[in-house]
Amino acid sequence: MQLLMARKNGPPKPPILAREPPNAHAVEERLAQNEDGFRLLFMNNPQPMWVFDAESTRFLEVNSAAVEHYGYSRQEFLTMRITEIRPQEDVPRLLEDAAKARSGLRDAGTWKHRLKDGRFIDVEIASDRLTFAGQNAVLVVARDITEQKQAEKALQETERKYRSMVEDAVIGIFQSTPQGRFLTVNPTMATMLGYESPQDLLACVNDIRGQVYVDPKRREEFSRALEQQGIVRNFECQVYRKDGRKIWISASARSVFEDGAVVRYEGMNEDITQRKLLEEQLTQSQKMEAVGLLAGGVAHDFNNALSVITGYSGLLQMRLPADDPLVRYAEEIAKAAYRAAGLTRQLLAFSRKQVIQPVILDLNSLIVEMEKMLRRLIGENIEIFITRDVGLARVKADASQMEQILMNLAVNARDAMLQGGKVTIRTENADLDETYSLQHLHFKPGRYVILSFSDTGCGMDKETLARIFEPFFTTKEPGKGTGLGLSTVYGIVKQNGGYISAYSEPGQGTTFKIYLPQAEGTVQSTPAVRTAEILPRGSETILLVEDEEALRTLARNCLENQGYCVLEAADGNAAIATAEKHSGPIQLLLTDVIMPGMNGRDLADRLTELRPTIKVLYLSGYASDLIAQYGVLDPQILLLEKPFTLRALLIKVQEALRPSAKAKAAGAS
């Protein structure tokens, strides 16, 4: 075989050795000088090489490296065309290139080649035209770059993965300088801070300490910790968004050192505003719970003492001749005791232990009924605007408690607007979904009626706002405020299954929003019980059961004073024994609810078995006492709330003994 290759054009060039694709020109020149030597150089070249016919594209010669690398034997190669080692889709481009080569252009670039076993490899081609055995031919050197390509691809893939890990991360990722500039931020970080894009954030913020941190000192603490410890975890601070809103973030970061100095910080930020809010709400509600327990306990014991004071002062008034100068003293004692009872009522309301009788209510009509009174209460220099939702749903609540809420809010609004202003009361329906309840601890999704009460008064700062519902918290001068107004409102709202929120800024007025669950049903009217001027008298026999002796003696004195016959017992068992011994009729059981041993409810059940016609009237200071035993407070159950006045006791006793008397009184009002 003759391997004669003659260069067509161009000056001779020095050979390029090593693993670089050998220069075709050089090969050709040397071949011309030493055919055998260059035949060896061709055949033993570690790079696959071949010569093909420029016209037919048939292989004319291949070297050993090509045979070894591609898997075809030399004989096989020599029966093939170069198109056969190309993927089908490359053939048109190949033919085009071959045409170019024929017209003198060099072929180069990267291609895919098919090996005999079907695998494809990536190759980099260098080629040149030459005359081979008198034919127009092309010399090709192929370098397998499959591994290199794969490595490149793998690298690109890892890079892409890392980039997407940062770019698409759900937490904010940043690099910043110790001096306070962001170097890199990911899109989440930009969004978290309210910027359109990372570019926007990088362009707008050039001083993290002053522009981002709400308290610049916190950034200094952050930096100090990073300089000293190299790493900071869960650093919580408040930052400004682009729109000026504040959010809470938790940052974890590390220092990156170069030559012993910190060159940048790298870390992650998480928006924890939501969690902070819930934490705050939790602390607040726990605090309220604790104070409520305390207040409720005190109020309960205090009530018993007050019942005795009001009772005996009442007895004194009854026994003394009307013109006796001592009557006035007794009246003063009674008045002071009523005032004190008012305070304990509020405490009980706050601790949700007030006895309530919820009914289906239309808040709109309640507001209309109260409007006049509210106007009088807040004075002439304050205007009241009322916006009622005509389709307002009903609520189930205690009417007198709702009145108490409006009054307390009105008094506060008045105190906040000494120079005059505007009160707006608005009612509306609302359907609050899961999203809302996620942001508000303990909030149950559902349909609510919202009562908002706004004023244009002095407003409050954050510190005040955080404490307004605490009992005895007041910013008013001694004697002006008791600090019980809003705690009462809070307790009432809670007791009626609702929620309350307050919004205020100093100088910007205040808005309270009360959410009460919507209720089905028709509005029940709650007729006021007429109080008879002459205290009712009677001659029935009453079994009085009360463990507290002072209170029992008081009630007995009062009842006997009005003609009743009273049998006394200190507890349930004693009461049953008394009832068994007593041969005459017993028309009424007047019993405390909570007593050592048998409770009031069980006693009533037992006595009803013994004497089926007996009527029952309970004495209680605690709604929960009754609710615990009956579930909900049934309007059928007769109850006298402690502390009670003697008048209230006598009226209730009469109601219990003669239910028709109550109906008559109600009808007359």
Shortest Cβ 417–ligand ADP spacing (Å): 8
User: How far apart are the C-alpha atoms of 403 and 126, rounded to whole Å?
Assistant: 97
**Residue of 136, 452, 475, 629 interacting with ligand ADP (CB under 6 A):** 475
Select 45 or 510, whichever has its Cβ closest to ligand ADP: 510
415/409 Cα distance (integer angstroms): 10
CB-based closest residue to ligand ADP: 485
C-alpha 443/C-alpha 432 separation (Å) is 9
Q: 416 is in the binding site of which of Mg ion, ligand ADP, none (Cβ under 5 to 8 A by kind)?
A: ligand ADP
Pick one of Mg ion, ligand ADP, none as the site partner of residue 450 (Cβ within 5 to 8 A by kind).
none
Task: Give the tokens for residue 371.
Answer: 């409007």
- Cα 145 to the center of its chain, rounded Å: 57
Closest CB 484 distance from ligand ADP, rounded Å: 6
Give the Cα separation of 650 and 644 in Å (integer): 10
Residue 301: Cβ within 10 Å count:
11
**Residue (462 or 480) nearer to Mg ion, CB:** 480
**Are 43 and 64 a contacting pair, CB within 8 Å?**
yes
Stretch binding ligand ADP (CB under 6 A), from 45-53, 483-491, 555-563, 647-655:
483-491
SS3 category, 218: helix
Task: Round to whole Å and give the CA distance between 164 and 231.
Answer: 24
Out of 188, 495, 510, 645, the only residue in the binding site for ligand ADP (CB under 6 A) is: 510
Of Mg ion, ligand ADP, none, which one sits near residue 474, judging by CB under 5 to 8 A according to partner kind?
Answer: ligand ADP
List phi, psi (to 5°) of 197: -155, 165
- Give the distance from CA 359 to its chain's centroid: 32
- Strand locations in 145-279, DSSP E? 172-176, 182-185, 231-240, 246-258, 261-271
In the bound state with ligand ADP, the residue whose beta carbon lies nearer, of 38 and 499, is 499
Q: Which does 138 bind (CB under 5 to 8 A by kind): Mg ion, ligand ADP, none?
A: none
Indicate which of Mg ion, ligand ADP, none lies near residue 475 (CB less than 5 to 8 Å, by partner kind): ligand ADP
C-beta of residue 411 within 8 angstroms of C-beta of residue 446: no
Q: Which residue, 267 or 509, has its beta carbon nearer to ligand ADP?
A: 509
* Residue 238 token pair: 């408040």
Q: Which has the closest alpha carbon to 183: 174, 192, 191?
A: 174
474 binds ligand ADP (CB under 6 A): yes
Residues 248-307 touching ligand ADP, rule: CB under 6 A, are: none
Structure-token pair, residue 196: 């359109």
Residue 423, token pair as written in the block:
């009160």
Shortest approach of Mg ion to residue 496 CB, angstroms? 19
Burial class (CB in 10 A: 0-12, 13-18, 19+), 112: middle
| Residue 213 C-beta-side C-alpha neighbours within 13 Å | 19
Identity of the residue numbered 214: V
Candidate ranges 17-25, 102-110, 408-416, 618-626; the one touching ligand ADP (CB under 6 A): 408-416
473 binds, among ligand ADP, Mg ion, none (CB under 5 to 8 A by kind): ligand ADP
Residue 464 found at the interface with ligand ADP (CB under 6 A): yes
Residues near 88 by Cβ (< 8 Å), separated by ≥ 6?
Answer: none
Give the residues across from 249 on adjacent strands: 237, 271
Considering the complex, state which of residue 115 and residue 502 has its C-beta at the smaller distance from Mg ion. 502
For residue 315, how many other CB atoms are within 10 A of its CB? 16
**Total number of residues that touch ligand ADP (CB under 6 A):** 23
Choosing among Mg ion, ligand ADP, none, which partner's interface includes residue 299 (Cβ < 5 to 8 Å by kind)? none
With contacts defined by CB under 6 A, name the span among 9-17, 187-195, 406-414, 530-538 that binds ligand ADP: 406-414
Q: Rank residues 413 and 569 by Cβ distance to ligand ADP and give the closer one.
A: 413
Q: Which of 120, 436, 473, 503 binds ligand ADP (CB under 6 A)?
A: 473
Q: Which residues bind Mg ion (CB under 5 A)?
A: 412, 485
Q: Which stretch binds ligand ADP (CB under 6 A): 226-234, 341-349, 431-439, 468-476?
A: 468-476
Binding test (CB under 6 A) with ligand ADP, winner from 223, 313, 487, 587: 487
**Which residues bind to ligand ADP, rule: CB under 6 A?**
408, 412-413, 416, 455, 457-460, 464, 468, 473-476, 481-487, 510
